[in-house]
Amino acid sequence: MEVVNGVFKVEVPTPFPVGCVNAYIIEGDPVTLVDSGPNSEKAFSGLLQGFEQAGVDIARLSQVLLTHGHTDHVGLVSSIGDEVEQRGGKRPSVWLHQNDHHRVIRHEEYTRKRVRSYIEIAERGGTPGEILDQMPYEWLVDRFISFGKSIPDVQTLRDGKVFETGLGPLRCIWTPGHSHGSVCFVAEEERIIFSGDHLLSDISSNPSLDFDRSSDIMMLRYLDSLLRLDKYKDYQAYPGHRAIINNIGSRIRELQEDIIEKLDKMREALAHTHQTIYALSRQIYGNYGLDQIVLALAETMDLVRILEANEEAETVEIDGVLHARERVSK
Ligand SMILES: [Zn+2]
């Protein structure tokens, strides 16, 4: 579907609960692709069909700009490069923020590490044994490895890098949160932002998904990065999933309010009692399914860490399981 002169939105199917990923073909010189879809036959044929419908020869594709390193956005990139070469084109250059680079150059190795951290957060959060039994390490690893493919020739970009495209110059702005290396690409002439998963129209950006015990609180990084978009609030955002966003300013406010509400819920949940992260996640996020458990625990952990940093809560580890409680001032 042509969303603006020479820009085509392709809804590429994924096996994830989120549904399709949006890839964007920018016609012109050089032909540019923003994000790709996961590594699957269905996704590949969906993307090829998108090029056909747009009337753009994929052999002319010369650069792929990636909004972040999650497999549903980058998994197809290697196959696309092969396809371009097979059709007589020159392998396109591929660009990703330096902070997400490590996750795509050796996909399998990275996936094993990441799945290990998923199981760790589930165990440390106090997830009941019968649920942990449904998340066997090898099964998860095989599943997640299948969605991606390494991109050994990916090049790194930094905040401020500018790409020439058919839409005019596209400038990269670094918006860490959803992942450490999440970026948006801004077309100032056309007043458009390719927002990746940093800004989505009707679902959360999962700002804690890239949790890492040693790193900053990702939810706070995310809130800071939301503010970076504020000066583009009268632009249109082309996101990584779902519908185009026409009112960036009000969407930013909704997302900020959502986190403030969750913090309030957490304060209530912690009043006069101490609980495991898992038990708290059930109070804040309700009856979520197995495929949402890591997300729910990671966000719960971030909410607790924010209150802890604010001296409103404290955590204690009992038999390897993290409990949180209200911090009562002396
Ligand atoms: Zn993502």
Which pLDDT does position 49 carry in this prediction? Answer: 98
Gap from CA of 279 to ligand 1 centroid (Å)? 26
Per-residue confidence band for 272, with pLDDT thresholds at 50, 70 and 90: confident
- At CB < 8 A and 24+ separation, what contacts does 258-264 make? 258/204, 259/207, 259/219, 259/223, 262/299, 262/303, 263/303, 263/306, 263/307
Q: Which residues surround ligand 1, an ion (CB under 5 A)?
A: 70, 197
- pLDDT tens for each residue of 156-173: 999 999 999 999 999 999
CA–CA distance from 73 to each of 68, 149, 178, 181 (Å)?
7, 11, 13, 13
- Indicate if 244 and 313 belong to the same structural domain: no
Are residue 213 and residue 84 in the same domain, yes or no?
yes
166 C-alpha vs ligand 1 centroid, how far in Å? 25
* Statement: the pTM of the whole predicted model exceeds 0.85: yes
* 248 shares a domain with 208: yes
Number of domains in the chain: 3
Statement to judge: residues 21 and 141 lie in one domain: no
Query: Do 165 and 68 have their domain in common?
Result: yes
Domain range enclosing 120: 107-145
| Statement to judge: residues 89 and 238 lie in one domain | yes
Q: Tell me the CA–centroid distance for residue 14 and ligand 1, in Å.
A: 12
The reported pLDDT for the residue numbered 330 is 56
Task: Report d(CA 324, CA 322) in Å as an integer.
Answer: 7
Kindly state whether residues 88 and 135 are assigned to the same domain.
Answer: no
In a shared domain, residues 86 and 126: no
274 and 131 within one domain: no
- pLDDT score of 210: 86
Mean pLDDT of 296-301: 96
Distance 168 CA to ligand 1 centre (A): 26
* C-alpha 70 – ligand 1 centre gap (Å): 5
Q: How confident is the model at residue 131 (pLDDT cuts 50, 70, 90)?
A: very high
User: In angstroms, what is the span from residue 178 Cα to ligand 1's centroid?
Assistant: 6
pLDDT value, residue 204? 87
Question: Are 243 and 266 in a shared domain?
Answer: no
* Domain at 296, CATH number: 1.10.10.10
Residue 41: which residues within 8 A CB-CB, separation 6 or more?
none
Helical segments of 155-286, H only? 218-228, 248-270, 277-285
Cα 109 to averaged position of ligand 1 atoms, centre (Å): 19
Together in a domain, 175 and 227: yes
Name the one residue in this structure whose structure tokens are 């990916």: 154
Q: Are residues 216 and 274 in the same domain?
A: no
